[in-house]
Structure 1
Amino acid sequence: MCRNIRPLNNFAPPATDDEVAAAALQYVRKVSGTTKPSLANQETFDRAVAEIAHLTRHLLDDLVTTAPPKNRDVEAAKARARAELRYAR
């Protein structure tokens, strides 16, 4: 489930709210052990996603680094190259 959580810090342009929400959703899915909560738990699940996304946004906004911002296309190409090596037959 959590394979879709990607590093979000120090990118140009910065992580979007959609990316932050997607990471929060994956985290809550992993911790709760479900991808689709029951109706009885839907409100709690949604609240957890919103709160974690909110805290994640604060974390990303407050982190400080001296490293130059990473390029999304370059990082995606590196990830594809690693996957090719890992899953090559």
Structure 2
Amino acid sequence: MCRNIHTLHNFEPAATSEEVHAAALQYVRKIAGTTKPSKANQEAFDQAVHAVAHATEHLLEALVTTAPPKNREEEYAKARARAEKSGRYANAG
């Protein structure tokens, strides 16, 4: 599950609310050990996703770097190339 959480810091344009929420959702899913909480746990699950997303947005706003911003498409292409080289996607495509 956590493989799906991507770096969000130092990209141009900055991470969107949707990207932050997706990362928070993946994190909470990993911690909870489930992708779909029971009805009894849904509220706690949703509150946790909201809290993690909120904290993530504050963290991203507070981080400082002197490195030039990265390009998402270039970084995704590099990640795909690494995955293909490792054989992770040998049967894909």
Alignment TM-score, normalising by the size of structure 2: 0.93
Q: Aligned partners of 2:47, 2:11: CA distance in 1, in Å?
A: 27
Matched, 1:8 2:4: no
Moved over 2 A (4+): none
Which has the larger share of strand? 1
Give the secondary structure class of the aligned counterpart of 2:49: helix
What residue in structure 2 maps to residue 45 of structure 1? 45
- CA shift digits 1:53-87 (9 cap, x unpaired): 00000000100000000001110110011011011
- CA shift digits 1:2-32 (9 cap, x unpaired): 1110000000000000000000000000000
Q: CA RMSD in A?
A: 1.0
Give the secondary structure class of the aligned counterpart of 2:26: helix
Percent of matched pairs sharing the same residue: 70
Q: Aligned partners of 1:21, 1:73: CA distance in 2, in Å?
A: 20
- Structure 2: unaligned runs, 5 residues or longer: none
